[in-house]
Amino acid sequence: MKNNKKILTNNKNTDKIASILKTNKGKAIRFSTLDAICKALNCTPGDILEYRED
């Protein structure tokens, strides 16, 4: 996802969230954050998320 930090910041999310997503260190995401990302990218959650077993 290019410019994800800019997209997240424009949607009133913090730099911390952008960093967590960019480094793949996140274990959870709020639905409101996911909704903002999907609206900004004009996509669905399935377009940007994948399931991986631990």
pLDDT value, residue 32: 87
pLDDT value, residue 34: 86
Residue 36 lies in a domain: yes
pLDDT value, residue 33: 82
Domain encompassing residue 39? 4-48
Residue 17 lies in a domain: yes
Mean pLDDT of successive 10-residue segments in the chain (54 residues)? 54 66 79 86 89 79
Domain count, the chain: 1
Question: Residue 52 class from Cβ within 10 Å (0-12 exposed, 13-18 middle, 19+ buried)?
Answer: exposed
Residue 38 lies in a domain: yes
Residue 43 lies in a domain: yes
pLDDT value, residue 44: 94
Taking the model in full, what pTM does it have?
0.55
Q: CA–CA separation, 25 vs 39, rounded Å?
A: 22
Residue 22 lies in a domain: yes
Residue 53 lies in a domain: no
Residue 54 lies in a domain: no
pLDDT value, residue 46: 92
Structural tokens at position 39: 């609206």
